[in-house]
Amino acid sequence: MKLNKLTKGWVTGILLATVLAGCGSTTNSSATNTPAAAPKPVATTAATPTPAASTELQKVRYAAFNGVSGLAVSFGIEKGIFKAEGLDVELVSTQDVVAGLNSKSIDVGDIATTSAIVAAGKGAPIKIVSSLFRTKGPFYLIAGPNINKIEDLKGKKIGAAAFGSGLDVTTQVILNKSGLKKTDVTLIANGVNDAAYASLTNGQVDATIIHEPFASLAELSGKGKILAKGWDYLPNFHTGVLAASNDFVEKKPEVLTKLISAYFKSQDYAKSHLDEYKKFFLATVKVDPAAVDKAFERELVLWENNPNVDLNALKETQQIQLDLGFQDKIYDIDKLVDLRFLPKK
């Protein structure tokens, strides 16, 4: 599906993605994890934020997730929430947030939690500074209409999005907890969003892991059904954080504090003004409004807006990665996280 300039796509031919989170990939390759550029302005009722002081705005180069995971940032920029904090946010599109932070071409970025942990653990000059608005993976295992339960997938082809990603982790854990070994199925790297959806509907795979709104589209169209929700199987697998370069942390701590504050104010405003946010959403992506309504309703439970980073969840996340062979060691989380900049309640 086609998006305008600011978010490059929850979907390319049909529509958008999560939620919601980051997808937990060591390559930051999952759908909600590809940072995007910003959409065109949409006329909405002003959020009436407190105006910033008459000083010059402070520039921040920010790589936000695309799709639903990053759209509230664009919405917050439109509403003037970041400007009210004294910030001029430049949304930067990059396929590799770690490389962008390392090269100082971006200051902060949304990133899959496991990507941030592994990169920082191996010496990348970055810090995890906040959770994102949701931290549980908004992933769904959906199957064609002739498959009724997970056990029916034995001997079938299953789309796992990108090998090593949070979507792949979720697929394998769902199968394992349902009594199926990796060798009982054929896992296929079938891409994300519309590519994954097309691979199911054209018979390339019998089931696939996927984001909203495709789970809802499958239900509404009769082309598939939801077999499992990822967060039911991985309730503590952490999928999304905000990471900043060490240089930005050291030189502009007050700007980082303002950015995190504006991020969560934007998320809070979007969640508490859903009708307005949905209009912005539908003006940004072309999608069946019924699928959007269903997706938002299903994922409100994940929209926690809690900036704190649960260190125990990060340890559990690493252990899951290690058990599946996606990580070769457990890194010392205390050295990778800096939570001094979280909003004070």
Is 15 a member of any domain? no
Q: Determine the pLDDT at residue 33.
A: 40
Same domain, 98 and 154: no
Q: Determine the pLDDT at residue 149.
A: 97
Cα–Cα distance between 37 and 107 in angstroms, integer?
15
Alpha carbon of 102 to those of 118, 123, 243, 326: distances in Å? 14, 10, 11, 22
Q: Determine the pLDDT at residue 67.
A: 64
What CATH number is associated with residue 204? 3.40.190.10
**Mean pLDDT throughout 159-179?**
95
**Mean pLDDT throughout 80-98?**
95
Is 8 a member of any domain? no
Question: pLDDT grade, residue 37 (50/70/90)?
Answer: very low
Q: In the predicted model, is pLDDT for residue 43 greater than 50? A: no
Q: Determine the pLDDT at residue 7.
A: 36
Domain that holds residue 99: 31-136+237-335
Same domain, 229 and 242: no
Residue-wise pLDDT for 100-153, tens only, equals 999 999 999 999 999 999 999 999 999 999 999 999 999 999 999 999 999 999
Cα–Cα distance between 159 and 186 in angstroms, integer?
8
Query: How many structural domains are present in the chain?
Result: 2
Q: Determine the pLDDT at residue 28.
A: 39
**Mean pLDDT throughout 153-160?**
98
Same domain, 256 and 328: yes
Q: In the predicted model, is pLDDT for residue 237 greater than 70? A: yes
Same domain, 45 and 130: yes
Q: In the predicted model, is pLDDT for residue 6 greater than 50? A: no
**Mean pLDDT throughout 70-83?**
95
Is 321 a member of any domain? yes
Same domain, 197 and 228: yes
Q: Which residues, in sequence order, are CB contacts of 265 under 8 Å at separation 6+?
A: 49, 76, 81, 85
* Beta-strand relationship, 58-63 and 108-111: parallel
DSSP annotation of 53 reads: P
Please identify, among 185, 206, 233, the residue that sits at the C-terminal boundary of a domain. Answer: 233
**Mean pLDDT throughout 15-38?**
38
Q: Which residues, in sequence order, are CB contacts of 28 under 8 Å at separation 6+?
A: 34, 95, 96, 97, 98, 111, 112, 115
Q: What's the N-to-C CA distance of the chain in angstroms? A: 39
DSSP annotation of 29 reads: -
> Considering the chain, what percentage of its residues have pLDDT values greater than 70?
83
Cα–Cα distance between 273 and 126 in angstroms, integer?
34
Is 67 a member of any domain? yes
Question: pLDDT grade, residue 70 (50/70/90)?
Answer: confident
Burial class of 143 by CB neighbour count within 10 A (0 to 12, 13 to 18, 19+): buried
Q: Determine the pLDDT at residue 323.
A: 95
Q: What dihedral do alpha carbons 305, 238, 277, 1 form, nearest 10°?
A: 170
* Beta-strand relationship, 157-159 and 186-188: parallel
Please identify, among 174, 208, 233, the residue that sits at the C-terminal boundary of a domain. Answer: 233
Alpha carbon of 202 to those of 11, 52, 79, 196, 321: distances in Å? 17, 52, 41, 10, 31
Mean pLDDT score across all residues of the chain: 86
Same domain, 247 and 226: no
Q: What is the pTM of this model?
A: 0.82
* Beta-strand relationship, 157-159 and 207-210: parallel
Same domain, 201 and 68: no
> Considering the chain, what percentage of its residues have pLDDT values greater than 90?
76
Is 326 a member of any domain? yes
Q: Determine the pLDDT at residue 105.
A: 96
Same domain, 110 and 155: no
Is 96 a member of any domain? yes
If phi > 0 it is left, if psi is from -120 to 50 it is alpha, else beta; for residue 254 that is: alpha
Residue-wise pLDDT for 247-296, tens only, equals 999 999 999 999 999 999 999 999 999 999 999 988 887 778 999 999 99
Same domain, 181 and 196: yes
Please identify, among 199, 233, 267, the residue that sits at the C-terminal boundary of a domain. Answer: 233
Is 341 a member of any domain? no
If phi > 0 it is left, if psi is from -120 to 50 it is alpha, else beta; for residue 102 that is: alpha
Specify the higher pLDDT residue, 3 or 207. Answer: 207
Same domain, 147 and 167: yes
Question: pLDDT grade, residue 54 (50/70/90)?
Answer: low
Same domain, 124 and 248: yes
Is 18 a member of any domain? no
Same domain, 255 and 111: yes
